């Protein structure tokens, strides 16, 4: 794990403050692909939705990257936006393209390390080298490396360029979706990291309590509601799903989020299985990559890098 400082790679961990809290940094590339190439809510213009122009870098382990992978699949974008998959181990060079089952190499410069892509685009880049990355093959630019933005643009930008017309962000529901996204992001999506990477007992207990209080709250909400915002699946569900599907296999053990498991919750477990079984989703979930990545990459938490055999989970709808 490391960071680029003025284009130079440093193998160091810089995510905790003096109190032992995990602090996530903001993503820096924030341009938007739009139907006509006009500017989006942030960043520059010049990224028109066109088939075979954009490339997506993901890790199959990463919940943020998986949001983008799921949206690419659901929207029928697999033949329009190409894909690279990094190795499961995020080690001294960060994400790499070392060969391993499931890895798809980099087409841009046959990079060994993902940070080479960041440096190619911005030679003096300072910051974390994260996935997902949405890359413009025509201009050799990173369009965006923030999953929240990427799934929003994939939801509609390509609708006249070959995507299907499913809409996970209906206009009339945006404010409710934003509200629930905020809560889920702070307490659950990022909450598992804040608990798992805490370096003080007090911080860990605070974060893990907040995480489970929020899961309990969502459990109640799902008692009367099939999905987070009513009967239709929205962006909010996919954002929660990528954390829930990893929860029992990775966060429960590796991040010590072990007050309960998702299978112990009646509604959350039903909900997770329903989303997992939506056509096009299952193939984006790779438990081998998920477990190998988490248990082997964070030596400060799991020094021997032993990957657990279990748990055995049955995500079928009839169980």
Ligand X SMILES: N[C@@H](CCC(=O)N[C@@H](CS)C(=O)NCC(=O)O)C(=O)O
Query: Active site residue: 54, 113, 118, 193, which one?
Result: 193
Tokens of 74: 């659901």
Min separation Cβ 216 and ligand X, Å:
25
Task: Name the pairing type of β-strands 8-10 and 3-5.
Answer: antiparallel
Among the listed residues 32, 47, 54, 64, the single contact to ligand X using CB under 6 A: 64
Looking at 115-123, 124-132, 234-242, 246-254, which segment touches ligand X (CB under 6 A)?
Answer: 124-132
> Measured from the CB atom, is 133 or 173 closer to ligand X?
133
Site for ligand X in 88-117 (CB under 6 A): 94
Min separation Cβ 225 and ligand X, Å:
25
Looking at 126-134, 158-166, 223-231, 281-289, which segment touches ligand X (CB under 6 A)?
Answer: 126-134
Per-residue binding string, ligand X, 247-286, x by CB under 6 A, is ----------------------------------------
Residue 236 binds ligand X (CB under 6 A) = no
Tokens of 73: 């699949």
175 annotated to a ligand binding site: no
Residue 240 binds ligand X (CB under 6 A) = no
Q: What angle do CA 191, 195, 201 make, to 5 degrees?
A: 145
State how far the alpha carbon of 132 is from the alpha carbons of 144, 191, 206, 256, 267, in Å. 8, 19, 29, 25, 30
Q: Is 193 a residue of the active site?
A: yes
Could you tell me which residues come within 8 angstroms of residue 47 by beta carbon, excluding any fewer than 6 positions away? 31, 32, 33, 34, 37, 136, 139, 143
Report the largest interatomic distance among the alpha carbons of the chain, rounded to a whole angstrom. 53
Min separation Cβ 300 and ligand X, Å:
14
Residue 1 binds ligand X (CB under 6 A) = yes
Residue 147 binds ligand X (CB under 6 A) = yes
Residue 294 binds ligand X (CB under 6 A) = no
Report the alpha-carbon distance of residue 289 to residue 236 in Å, rounded: 24
Query: Active site residue: 54, 57, 62, 295, which one?
Result: 62
Residue 128 binds ligand X (CB under 6 A) = yes
Report the alpha-carbon distance of residue 199 to residue 24 in Å, rounded: 15
Looking at 76-84, 142-150, 218-226, 308-316, which segment touches ligand X (CB under 6 A)?
Answer: 142-150
147 annotated to a ligand binding site: yes
Among the listed residues 111, 129, 203, 236, the single contact to ligand X using CB under 6 A: 129
Tokens of 115: 């940070």
Residue 192 binds ligand X (CB under 6 A) = no
95 annotated to a ligand binding site: yes
Per-residue binding string, ligand X, 5-44, x by CB under 6 A, is ----------------------x-----------------
Could you tell me which residues come within 8 angstroms of residue 307 by beta carbon, excluding any fewer than 6 positions away? 291, 292, 295, 296
Min separation Cβ 15 and ligand X, Å:
7
Residues with active-site annotation: 62, 193
Indicate the annotated binding residues: 95, 146-147
Applying CB under 6 A, the residues found at the interface with ligand X are 1, 27, 59, 62, 64, 94, 128-132, 146-148
């Amino acid at each position: 794990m490391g960071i680029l400082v003025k284009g130079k790679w440093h193998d160091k961990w810089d995510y905790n403050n003096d109190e032992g809290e995990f602090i996530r940094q903001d993503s820096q590339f924030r341009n938007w692909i739009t139907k006509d190439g006009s500017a989006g809510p942030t960043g520059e213009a010049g990224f028109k939705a066109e088939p075979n122009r954009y490339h997506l870098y993901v890790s199959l382990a990463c919940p943020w990257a998986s949001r983008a992978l799921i949206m690419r699949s659901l929207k029928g974008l697999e033949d329009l936006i190409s894909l690279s998959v990094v190795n499961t181990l995020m080690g001294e060079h960060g994400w790499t393209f070392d060969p391993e089952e499931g890895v798809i190499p980099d087409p841009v410069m046959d990079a060994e390390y993902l940070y080479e892509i960041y440096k190619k685009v911005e030679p003096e880049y300072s910051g974390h080298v994260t996935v997902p990355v949405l890359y413009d093959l025509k201009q050799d630019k990173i369009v965006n490396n923030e999953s929240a933005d990427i799934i929003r643009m994939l939801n509609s930008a390509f609708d006249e360029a070959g995507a299907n017309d499913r809409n996970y962000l209906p206009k009339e529901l945006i404010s409710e979706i934003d509200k629930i996204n905020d809560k889920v992001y702070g307490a659950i999506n990022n909450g598992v990291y804040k608990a798992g990477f805490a370096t003080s007992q007090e911080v860990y207990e605070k974060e893990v309590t907040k995480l489970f209080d929020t899961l309990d709250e969502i459990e109640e909400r799902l008692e009367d509601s099939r999905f987070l915002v009513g009967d239709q699946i929205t962006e909010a569900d996919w954002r929660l799903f990528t954390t829930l599907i990893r929860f029992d296999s990775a966060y429960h053990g590796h991040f010590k989020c072990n007050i309960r498991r998702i299978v112990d919750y009646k509604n959350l477990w039903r909900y997770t299985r329903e989303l997992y079984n939506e056509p096009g989703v299952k193939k984006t979930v790779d438990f081998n990559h998920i477990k190998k990545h988490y248990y082997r990459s964070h030596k400060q938490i799991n020094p021997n890098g032993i990957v657990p055999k279990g748990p055995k989970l049955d995500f079928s709808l009839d169980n």
